[in-house]
Structure 1
Amino acid sequence: MMERRQFLALAGAGLGGLFGSAGPAWAQMPPLRLGVLSFGTVEWELAAIRALGLDEAAGLKIEPLKLASNDAARIAFLGDAVDSIVSDLLWAARMRGEGRDIVFLPFSASEGAVMRAPDSTIATVADLAGKRIGVAGGALDKSWILLQAYARHQAGIDLAKAAEPVFGAPPLLSMKLEQGELDAALLYWNFCARLEAKGFKRLVGADEVARSFGVEGPISFVGYVFKRNDGRNDRQIAAFAAASRQAKQALASQDAIWSQLRPLMQADDEATYNVLKRTFLAGIPSRTIADEQADATKLYAKLAELGGEKLVGKTATLPEGLYWAGH
């Protein structure tokens, strides 16, 4: 197993020099308290940042705090128990729309999907009528809202009434789908990947649903949310953004790093490991912020139309300044 110094050699001199002579100034920054989900994939990126020494190069001290659910993460963030969390673009937009000085840094464009068993007779969205559908999140989850709109448009059915939605945590829903207690399940991408490795099939992906509403390219629906505090945290955010970007570049180009991440991935077989790795890499944000924001604006307007104030709050358009742009 490679030691940390070998990773630094693999990374090349460019990583160490990323922050130039600014290191001593960055070192004066307070610790970055980052809330992470116990079943999420952010830990993979954090492990790469540590292995490559990118945190030290930036003068960053990252203090991860494991949280049990998205709700717990949001409560911790709003209660100042953490400085940053990885959350939904929609929630971040709502918070900024309410006047909070927060910014969104794209983390992943990998999206979830509706999964079905290998021998399932469900072939189209119309076939979901009369079926038990697991839904990760709640009734106002953006993927569930979009899926309902897609079903109305494609098949003329109201899934909330025609099917039996079962809301719950992704691990539980995934298990129930495997056990045959659910006919299908709308799950986050990492749970879809694990099921795919076991032969389960995708019925429709959230990316396909988004494209049906005019989105032209992948959108990072998940990202790091930071508090700017009138610009006082901008140096810290910029340092983390650079470390995150370099870690993603290394993960995309250096297979050796993945051997260090594998224990975190809980991949017991090669098939699961390979699907998780492939899907994670496919979701690395590659578009300009301007392009992402243009598509996100279109989709946000559609979601505001479909979900109303309960979903997006009082802001019917994507708030200006939501995306981190280096400030």
Structure 2
Amino acid sequence: MRLGLYALLLFALTTISAPEAQAAQKVTVGVLKFGTVSWILDTIQANGLDTAEGIELDVMPLASTQATTLGLQGGSADVIATDWLWVSRERSSGGNFTFSPFTTALGSIMVPADSPIKTLGDLKGKKLGVAGGPLDKSWLLIVAYALRTANIDLRTEARQEFGAPPLLAERAKQGALDAVLNFWPYAARLEAVGFTELIGVEDVVRELGAKGEVAMVGYVFSESWAKQNPKAIAGFLRAAAKADELLATSNEEWQRLKPMMQVDDDATFEALRRRYREGIPERSVAQNEADAKVLYQFLREFGGERLVGPGTELAPGTFWNGGGS
């Protein structure tokens, strides 16, 4: 009789706890397979930071930036990483995506160690590789900065070669380019083989009116989804912040990540770790948003509607305020 009561009690406890065990809400993150965002997602999962926040992180590797945005728009991904300019353009056209900062790390113009190029003015007549295309944000901010500080229009006074980041990094190492403006992970890899930084885009934004380093890339998600799932998005953003805290302080965690970083030597590993840490946002969302509004006007001036869409200013709601009004 006692055994039967015990079994009945055990069944009741199992039945009661089962919904609790299934309470974690899945958050699907669409991410470039070899992108730096995958490092933080791996850190979250490896350390159980998602479970601690009551969510289940589902990482969906994708092949291209376009695939991530399509995944978000189509509903197969809840969160992706992209820039606030894309978010503002979508909102200006009726979308309701919103942005939470991920990194302030941007690009840099890198030159060989023995290069005679010491200033932006020295780029006149030189072949400059530019990652992306003529509407790349870092490129347009550099153009605006060079006009303001050196009175040189790099669009007409330097010979540009636009291309994919890894291709341009290789061409720079081969000596086919005099300088290259590349995204920060590729700039770090060039630094590891002896290249030096002529100027970083992080420095440029201050001259253009930003009060500090601006997070251009962030976690992007549907505002309506976030408001319908407030615990899920809050849990994800807290887990990401805790992962960043770990990456900022733990060298052991970086050693664990090392195999997925695709590095062949310690110099590259150290450069990537340092630049990632430097890019961890330290300013408030409100401060980032205020500076984004300033930079938006330069991007609108130099990129036009093809870049920013129909909006004349950063669209309201571009930056996620936690669901408050």
Unaligned 5+ segments in structure 1 are 1-22
CA distance in 1, matches of 2:54, 2:88: 29
1:37 aligned onto 2:16: no
1:56-95 equivalences in 2 (<5 Å): 56-95=51-90
Q: Which residue of 2 aligns with 1:158?
A: 153
1:196 aligned onto 2:191: yes
Q: Alpha-carbon deviations, 1:62-100, whole Å to 9, x = none? A: 222222332332233223332221112211221122221
Q: Alpha-carbon deviations, 1:277-313, whole Å to 9, x = none? A: 1111111111111111111111112222332212211
CA distance in 1, matches of 2:83, 2:271: 23
Question: Contact 1:227–1:233 (CA<8 Å) still a contact in 2?
Answer: no
1:236 aligned onto 2:245: no
* Secondary structure of 1:187's aligned partner: strand
Q: Which residue of 2 aligns with 1:172?
A: 167
Q: RMSD in angstroms over aligned alpha carbons?
A: 1.9
* Secondary structure of 1:220's aligned partner: coil
User: Once the 2 structures are TM-superposed, how far is the Cα of residue 24 of structure 1 from its aligned partner?
Assistant: 4.1
Question: Contact 2:24–2:56 (CA<8 Å) still a contact in 1?
Answer: no
Q: Alpha-carbon deviations, 1:141-163, whole Å to 9, x = none? A: 11111111222222322222222
Q: Which residue of 1 aligns with 2:137?
A: 142
CA distance in 2, matches of 1:250, 1:86: 20
Question: Contact 1:107–1:220 (CA<8 Å) still a contact in 2?
Answer: yes
Q: Which residue of 1 aligns with 2:311?
A: 315
Question: Contact 2:84–2:318 (CA<8 Å) still a contact in 1?
Answer: no
Q: Which residue of 2 aligns with 1:14?
A: none
Output the amino acid matched with 1:176.
R
Q: Which has the larger radius of gyration?
A: 2
Q: Which residue of 1 aligns with 2:178?
A: 183
Q: Alpha-carbon deviations, 1:240-265, whole Å to 9, x = none? A: 10110111112122222111111111
Q: Which runs of 4+ in 1 moved over 3 A?
A: 23-26
Output the amino acid matched with 2:291.
D
* Secondary structure of 2:228's aligned partner: coil
Q: What percent identity do the matched residue pairs reach?
A: 45
Query: Given the two structures, how large is their TM-score scaled by the length of structure 1?
Result: 0.87
Q: 2:248 aligns with which of 239, 242, 252?
A: 252
Instruction: Note closer, same or farther for the CA distance 1:39–1:51 as it changes in structure 2 (3 Å cut).
Output: closer
Question: Contact 1:193–1:275 (CA<8 Å) still a contact in 2?
Answer: yes
State the number of aligned residues. 304
Unaligned 5+ segments in structure 2 are 1-18
Which sits farther off after the overlay, 188-197 or 125-134? 125-134
CA distance in 2, matches of 1:235, 1:111: 30
* Secondary structure of 2:82's aligned partner: strand
Instruction: Note closer, same or farther for the CA distance 1:38–1:120 as it changes in structure 2 (3 Å cut).
Output: farther
